[in-house]
């Protein structure tokens, strides 16, 4: 069972990946992971929780570090 905090963080991750991907003009199939995986993350299917290696591949494609990908400080400020 996924807690509300976990769901909130997965939503932040999904929104961040989608936002950065669109800003950089990257298509879902441009990632070095299965396109279905990206779709599941961005669409919050089944509270999909990507592995570290998947996050590493996503951040590499986006040209940022994993820590930058997981930095939700700006998004959290907007919700307060």
Q: What pTM was estimated for this model as a whole?
A: 0.86
The residue ranges of the chain whose pLDDT is under 70 are 1-2, 46, 79-80
The secondary element (H helix, E strand) that includes residue 19 is helix 4-23
- Please write the tens of the pLDDT for every residue from 14-27: 999 999 999 999 99
HSE of 49, CA atoms in CB hemisphere, 13 A: 7
**Quick one: fold of 4-79?**
434 Repressor (Amino-terminal Domain) (1.10.260)
For the chain, domain boundaries = 4-79
Residues 32/62, Cβ–Cβ less than 8 Å: no
């Amino acid at each position: 069972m996924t807690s509300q905090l976990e769901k909130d963080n997965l939503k932040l991750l999904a929104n961040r990946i989608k936002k950065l991907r669109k800003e950089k003009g990257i298509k879902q199939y441009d990632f070095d992971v299965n396109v279905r995986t990206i779709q599941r993350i961005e669409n919050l299917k089944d509270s999909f929780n990507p592995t570290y290696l998947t996050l590493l591949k996503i951040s590499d494609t986006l040209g940022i570090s994993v820590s930058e990908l997981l930095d939700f400080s700006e998004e959290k400020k907007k919700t307060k």
